Amino acid sequence: MHSIQRRAGILIIGLLTLGIAGCNEGRGGKSSATVSRSNIKSEDQIVFFPSYGYFDAKTKTWTFDVHGHVFEPEDSSRRRRALISVVRKAADIEEDSDSAALLARRTQPFLVDNERGKKIAIRIGDNTYAVGRSLANGHFSTTLSLSAAEAKKLLKDNAGAAIGYQAELRSDDTRPFAGRVHLIAPEGLSIISDIDDTIKISNVTDKKEMLKNTFAREFQVVEGMAAIYRTAADKGTVLHYVSGSPWQLYEPLSQFLSTSGFPQGSYHLKQFRLKDSTVLQLLASQKKNKLAAIEPLLKAFPNRRFLLFGDSGEQDPEIYGELASKYSDQVIGIFIRNATEEQADDERFAKAFNNLDQKQWSLFDEPSEIEAKVTSLIETN
């Protein structure tokens, strides 16, 4: 048991201290084949993750990914008890406290029974599409296309810039497992936002506090950030939420952002499973992983302009500075929340942003300090 606890503790703490990785597992090729239904059992559940789509002017089609996870909830197991115990001890959480109860709920998604080989089908409008079979980690993913005419009809029906879909299940299974895709125009303004210590207080640099804030406390918002993002969204800006958190935390994170007033957007989290090679990603470079999550967005929308929001707790300044140098026509603003009590004239920032004009980046303590600058960029782009 001690060996199990030690390994689980190392992996969880490593998971929460490393950076961002894109999700590339479980991806299939383009698919528009009509299929019958998903073959999941009544005890299985599906979670779909919000994605984005882009328009191909040559083919007059919208291309997008569908990505989700199929699993069976696990209420009790030796592994789960070991995981709860090691995180509780690492964060100094009393066993019978309210925090311990929250900890039990937050860790549950990490030890569900991932369902391998499940055939998943979804319905979009009047059509049903195959989105592949689930892998050993329960994830499935594929790329689909819709004609411009189909997308226009769906957007009209849904009265927004996102189209909805839901799992096609057996006729006697009426559970509404739903997802959405944000169809993003070739031109316009986008925000790519980190989550931890940028819009949600996590205290990543203090590992004990980070564990508590992630697993044993209600999430805390960075006051004022939601208002800035809402103003941007109201003026047509689209949002992409990027985080080093694993997909297992997607549901509490998305609920938190929604109830805190943040606009909807696509999510880009990390693949993680205790049993397979994704554990090795915990040792990967944060820089490499974060670039892998963000660069596809910049490449998919070469004519859009981007604002990058992050914090000083880890490597956001260095990563964003490199992206701004490489994609100088697209990245027009970088905003770094000061989570480490640094100064804007510190050598770190001079080095990270050495190829940028001073006006292109800002280090801020309070969101009110950047509100006017962000509004100006929104209105001129």
Q: Over range 137-157, report the average pLDDT.
A: 93
In 285-370 the beta strands, taken as DSSP E runs, fall at 304-311, 331-337, 361-364
CA 127 from centroid of its chain's CA atoms: 28
Multiple choice CATH, 24-70+114-184, 3.30.300, 1.25.40, 1.10.357, 2.60.40: 2.60.40
13 — pLDDT class (breaks 50, 70, 90): very low
- Mean pLDDT calculated for residue range 157-163: 82
The helix, strand and coil proportions of the chain, stated in percent and rounded to the nearest 5, come to 35, 30, 35
Hey, which residues does 331 pair with through a beta bridge? Answer: 306
Q: Is the pLDDT of residue 184 over 70?
A: yes
- Does 193 score more than 70 pLDDT? yes
The answer, yes or no, to whether residue 135 has pLDDT greater than 90, is yes
Pairing of strands 162-167, 119-124: antiparallel
Could you tell me the two tokens for 45? 């559940």
Edge-to-edge strands, sheet with 238-246? 266-270, 238-246, 188-194, 304-311, 331-337, 361-364
pLDDT level of residue 278 (50, 70, 90 thresholds): very low
H or E element that contains 300: helix 286-300
User: Which residues have a Cβ under 8 Å from the Cβ of 107 and sit 6 or more positions away?
Assistant: 80, 83, 84, 87, 215
Confidence at residue 114, expressed as pLDDT on a 0 to 100 scale:
93
Q: What is the pTM of this model?
A: 0.88
Average pLDDT over residues 304-320: 96
Residue 163 scores a pLDDT above 70: yes
Residue 284 to residue 292: CA distance in whole angstroms = 12
Best-predicted range by mean pLDDT (93-97, 103-107, 189-193): 189-193
Q: CB under 8 Å to 33, separation ≥6 — which residues? A: 129, 130
Instruction: Supply the pLDDT for residue 2.
Output: 42
Helix (H, G, I), strand (E, B), or coil: what is residue 351? helix
Pick the CATH number of 188-380 from 3.40.190.10, 3.20.20.80, 2.60.40.10, 3.40.50.1000: 3.40.50.1000
At 273, the pLDDT band (50, 70, 90 cuts) reads: low
Percent of the chain with pLDDT over 70: 86
Confidence of residue 331 (pLDDT cuts 50, 70, 90): very high
CA–CA dist 212, 162 (Å, integer): 34
> Shortest CA distance to 84 belongs to which of 103, 62, 71?
103
Compute the average pLDDT of residues 229-253.
Answer: 95
Taking the C-alpha atoms of residue 282 and residue 285, their distance in angstroms, rounded to an integer, is 8
Residue 298 pLDDT greater than 90, yes or no:
yes
Residue type, 35: V
Indicate if the pLDDT at residue 292 is higher than 70.
yes
Q: Quick one: pLDDT at residue 275?
A: 56
pLDDT value of residue 118: 96
Tokens, residue 235: 């003026």
Amino acid 187 reads E
pLDDT value of position 78: 74
In whole angstroms, what is the distance from residue 152 CA to residue 158 CA?
10
Q: What is the mean pLDDT of residues 214-238?
A: 96
Confidence band, pLDDT 50/70/90 cuts, at residue 11: very low
Q: Which residue has better confidence, 264 or 15?
A: 264
Q: Which helix (H) or strand (E) holds 175?
A: none
One DSSP character per residue, 176-197 reads --EEEEEEE-SSEEEEEEE-BT
Contacts of 114 (CB under 8 A, 6+ apart): 69, 70, 71, 134, 136, 137, 138, 273
Residue 121 binned pLDDT confidence (cut-offs 50, 70, 90):
very high
Strand 200-201 relative to strand 119-124: parallel, antiparallel, unpaired? Answer: unpaired
pLDDT for 32 beyond 70: no
Q: Check residue 75 and give its pLDDT.
A: 64
Read off the pLDDT of each residue in 157-168 and give the average, rounded to a whole number: 88
| pLDDT above 90 for 161 | no
Which tokens is 189 given? 């303004």
pLDDT tens-place string over residues 33-53: 445 799 999 999 999 999 999
What is the residue extent of each domain of the chain? 24-70+114-184, 188-380
* Three-state secondary-structure class, residue 111: helix
Give percent of the chain with pLDDT exceeding 90.
67
Q: Is 104 exposed, middle or buried (0-12, 13-18, 19+ CB in 10 A)?
A: middle
Instruction: Find the length of the chain.
Output: 381
**251 CB neighbour count, 10 Å cutoff:** 12
**288: confidence class by pLDDT, cuts 50, 70, 90:** confident
Pair of tokens at residue 58: 């040559």
| Average pLDDT for 235-257 | 95
Average pLDDT over every residue of 195-199: 97
Tally the C-alpha atoms within 13 A of residue 84's C-alpha that lie toward its C-beta: 22
| Section 262-273 average pLDDT | 90
Out of 91-95, 117-121, 239-243, 365-369, pick the least confident.
Answer: 91-95
Residues 40, 169: contact at Cβ < 8 Å? yes
Give the DSSP letter of residue 276: S
Query: Do the Cβ atoms of 151 and 62 come closer than 8 Å?
Result: yes
Q: What is the mean pLDDT of the chain?
A: 86
DSSP code for 340: S
Torsion angles phi and psi, residue 106, rounded to 5: -70, -30
